């Protein structure tokens, strides 16, 4: 833009206008997610079609995988709504296997939670199911199947749901949604079998060789040096953790799973474990011609996660030659009431991995894998203090369906800044203390490790909230072929 035009444009901007976009045009073209089309003219309703089907997807130049997809893409389409909207999803299963859609993190009614046999029957091949619910909280969420989830998520079934709050006060218009994942396939594009490596593979948590950013390998993002960008990140990998590094430059975390946190925090490295989300502001610094790389560093989540592994390049950030911006640090507070443990019902979950028997390993919660477990009771409106004791040598990102919790420190004081979580990493040989308040959405709600191989390997259970009967359904032990 010629300088004169620029000046005129600047003069026309009212003093209190929304913050300016500094991103060069097409800055996010390398990362853009396909968005689902809203078929409903009502501004408060987002109504979409979503189809699970097989498709060939090119994830790197010349590398095509025969993936399981939503709408033929990897990841599935980005579903965009505003907080308080009604979301209607006409889901169709064109796969040869039953499936469901679970809305990870969204406080849905139990009928919409997508757990086969618990909250709905599985959606069989050729069948449809309509998901219909209100999105009550702003934030980044995601969707994935809950039928043989390690297999189905690993094969490509996942997508992001962005619930925006136009009044969130975060004046950073240059915003991008980033879905991190991985996938394994051979020279012919055939998916790596979900049971590869047998019981040991289950215990490690299988990672695919192709590390993907919005379904692509090492995409390019363009930036003006120093100009703030808002990245909404979800880790949709079934097992892999992402330990993000931007060549030591700062991340300002403004939110996590359940939306904005109490106040921003800066760090130079950022751990996003399977199932978690982060909302961060980055102000990449650098020069034209010298790209900056977002990398996934090695993180030890247990044996097999660092041995013979390498750092992965995720995104290459290329700078324009415009003058750098000096961005003001972002400040805000989201007033949140610190939870109190007084009166909370303690519930202990001991996570163990006994030695192999008959060449099989299983993870256990309080001595039993999920296929032998009984539901844990909870009363409507009750607050529970969950003491999650990880006695194994692997980390476990612990996830609860349908509700947020807050994380407490060793003295049962809430960790600051306060934040709403639905998935939290419980590192090996440590104990996490979580405070969860149940509301009136009676039903059977799941909790499980979000390393989905661990979940399928036993690390899963349910909470029976309110005066309902446990489902007759018995979770089957996965059978290996």
Candidate ranges 45-53, 320-328, 330-338, 444-452; the one touching ligand C2O (CB under 6 A) = 444-452
Which of Cu ion, ligand C2O, none does residue 449 bind (CB under 5 to 8 Å by kind)?
Answer: Cu ion
Least spacing, CB of residue 102 vs ligand C2O, in Å: 5
Token look-up 């690390």 returns 459
Query: Which of these segments, 297-305, 308-316, 408-416, 446-454, binds ligand C2O (CB under 6 A)?
Result: 446-454
Pattern 259-298, binding to ligand C2O, x per CB under 6 A?
----------------x-----------------------
Min CB(422)–ligand C2O separation in Å: 8
Binds ligand C2O by CB under 6 A, chosen from 31, 59, 100, 104: 104
- Between the CA of residue 318 and those of 27, 31, 223, what are the distances in Å? 9, 13, 6
- When the beta carbons of 285 and 301 are compared against ligand C2O, the nearer one is 301
Q: Which is nearer to ligand C2O, 149 or 390 (CB)?
A: 149
CA distance readout (Å), 121 to 103, 118, 126, 147, 403: 16, 8, 14, 11, 22
Q: Find, among 253, 268, 319, the residue nearest to 290 by Cα.
A: 319
The footprint of ligand C2O on this chain (CB under 6 A) covers a number of residues equal to: 10
Identify what 146 binds: Cu ion, ligand C2O, none; CB under 5 to 8 Å per kind.
ligand C2O
Q: Which of residues 104 and 285 has its CB atom nearest to ligand C2O in the complex?
A: 104
Q: Which of residues 80, 107, 146, 240 is near ligand C2O by CB under 6 A?
A: 146
Other beta carbons less than 10 A from residue 393's beta carbon: 12
Q: Enumerate binding residues for Cu ion (CB under 5 A).
A: 117, 396, 449, 451, 454, 475
CB atoms within 10 A of CB 14: 6
| Contact partner at residue 275 from ligand C2O, Cu ion, none, CB < 5 to 8 Å by partner kind | ligand C2O
Task: Name the binder of 104 from ligand C2O, Cu ion, none, CB < 5-8 A by kind.
Answer: ligand C2O
102 binds, among Cu ion, ligand C2O, none (CB under 5 to 8 A by kind): ligand C2O
Site for ligand C2O (CB under 6 A): which residue of 301, 399, 454, 475? Answer: 399
Inter-residue contact 438 to 468 (CB < 8 Å): no
CB of 234 to Cu ion, least distance (A): 18
Binders of ligand C2O in range 375-394 (CB under 6 A): none
Residue 399's binding partner among Cu ion, ligand C2O, none (Cβ under 5 to 8 angstroms by kind) is ligand C2O
> CB under 6 A: which stretch of 220-228, 237-245, 254-262, 445-453 binds ligand C2O?
445-453
Among 107, 222, 232, 401, binds ligand C2O (CB under 6 A): 401
CB neighbour burial string for 331-343, b if at least 16 within 10 angstroms, e if fewer: eeebebeebeeee
Using rule CB under 6 A, residue 80 touches ligand C2O: no
- Stretch binding ligand C2O (CB under 6 A), from 54-62, 132-140, 320-328, 442-450: 442-450
**CB nearer to Cu ion: pick between 107 and 475:** 475
The span from the CA of 321 to the CA of 118, in Å, is 56
Between residues 448 and 454, which has the closer beta carbon with respect to ligand C2O? 448
Residue 344 vs 446, nearer CB to ligand C2O: 446
Show the beta-strand stretches assigned E in 214-306: 220-223, 229-235, 242-245, 251-256, 259-267, 270-272, 277-282, 292-297
Separation of alpha carbons 206 and 238, rounded Å: 8
CB contact at 8 A, 464 and 444: yes
Task: Work out which of 280, 294, 446, 449 binds ligand C2O, going by CB under 6 A.
Answer: 446
Q: Which residue intervals of 31-148 are DSSP H helices?
A: none
In the chain, how many H helices and how many E strands? 4, 29
Distance CA(318)–CA(291), nearest Å, equals: 5
Q: Alpha-carbon dihedral of residues 414, 415, 420, 426, nearest 10 degrees?
A: -110
Chosen residue from 230, 433, 448, 475 binding ligand C2O by CB under 6 A: 448
Residue at shortest CB range from ligand C2O: 104
CA distance 318 to 415: 37
Cβ 111 to ligand C2O, closest distance in Å?
Answer: 16
Out of 144, 206, 285, 364, the residue judged to bind ligand C2O by CB under 6 A: 144
Report the partner that residue 460 touches, choosing among Cu ion, ligand C2O, none (CB closer than 5 to 8 A by kind): none
Q: 199 by DSSP, 3-state: which? A: helix
- Structural Rg of the chain based on CA atoms: 22
337 preceded by a cis bond (ω within 30 of 0)? no
Q: What number of CA atoms fall less than 13 Å from residue 166's CA on the CB side?
A: 6
Query: How many angstroms separate the CA atoms of 229 and 215, rounded?
Result: 20
Q: Does 102 bind ligand C2O (CB under 6 A)?
A: yes
In this structure, the number of other CB atoms found within 10 A of the CB of residue 321 comes to 9
Q: Residue numbers of the site for ligand C2O (CB under 6 A)?
A: 102, 104, 144, 146, 275, 399, 401, 446, 448, 450
């Amino acid at each position: 833009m010629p300088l004169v035009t620029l000046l005129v444009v600047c003069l026309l901007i009212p003093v209190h206008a929304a913050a300016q976009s500094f991103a060069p045009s097409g800055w996010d073209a390398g990362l853009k997610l396909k968005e689902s089309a809203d078929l409903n003219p009502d501004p408060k309703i987002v109504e979409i079609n979503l189809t699970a089907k097989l498709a060939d997807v090119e994830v790197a130049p010349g590398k095509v995988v025969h993936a399981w997809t939503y709408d033929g893409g990897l990841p599935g389409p980005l579903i965009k709504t505003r907080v308080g909207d009604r979301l209607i999803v006409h889901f169709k299963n064109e796969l040869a296997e039953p499936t469901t859609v679970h809305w990870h993190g969204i406080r849905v009614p139990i009928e919409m939670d997508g757990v086969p046999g618990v909250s709905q029957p599985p959606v069989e091949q050729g069948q449809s199911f309509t998901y219909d619910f209100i999105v009550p909280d702003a934030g980044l969420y995601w969707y994935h199947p809950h039928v043989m989830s390690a297999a189905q998520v690993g094969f490509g079934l996942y997508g992001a749901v962005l619930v925006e709050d136009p009044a969130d006060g975060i004046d950073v218009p240059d915003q991008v949604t980033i879905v991190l994942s991985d996938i394994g396939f051979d020279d012919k594009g055939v998916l790596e079998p979900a049971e590869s490596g047998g019981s040991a593979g289950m215990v490690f948590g299988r990672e695919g060789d192709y590390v993907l950013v919005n379904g692509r390998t090492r995409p390019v993002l363009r930036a003006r040096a120093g100009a703030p960008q808002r990245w909404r990140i979800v880790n949709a990998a079934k097992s892999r953790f992402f330990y993000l590094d931007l060549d030591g430059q700062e991340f300002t975390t403004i939110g996590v799973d359940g939306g904005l946190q109490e106040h921003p925090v800066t760090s130079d490295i950022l751990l996003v474990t399977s199932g978690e989300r982060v909302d961060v502001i980055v102000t990449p610094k650098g020069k034209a011609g010298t790209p900056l790389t977002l990398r996934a560093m090695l993180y030890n989540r247990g044996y097999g996660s660092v041995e013979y592994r390498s750092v992965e390049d995720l995104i290459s950030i290329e700078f324009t030659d415009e003058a750098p911006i000096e961005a003001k640090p972002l400040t805000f507070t989201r007033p949140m009431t610190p939870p109190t443990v007084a009166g909370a019902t303690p519930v202990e979950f001991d996570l163990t991995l006994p030695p192999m028997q008959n060449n099989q390993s299983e993870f256990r919660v309080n001595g039993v894998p999920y296929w032998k477990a009984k539901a844990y009771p909870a009363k409507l409106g009750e607050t529970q203090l969950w003491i999650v004791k990880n006695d194994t040598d692997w980390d476990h990102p612990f996830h609860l369906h349908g509700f947020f919790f807050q994380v407490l420190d060793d003295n049962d004081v809430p960790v600051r800044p306060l934040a709403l979580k639905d998935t939290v990493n419980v590192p090996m040989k440590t104990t996490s203390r979580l405070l969860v308040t149940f509301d009136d959405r009676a039903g059977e709600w799941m909790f499980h490790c979000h390393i989905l191989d661990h979940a399928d390997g036993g690390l899963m259970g349910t909470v029976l909230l309110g005066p309902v009967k446990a489902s007759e359904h018995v979770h089957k032990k996965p059978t290996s072929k």
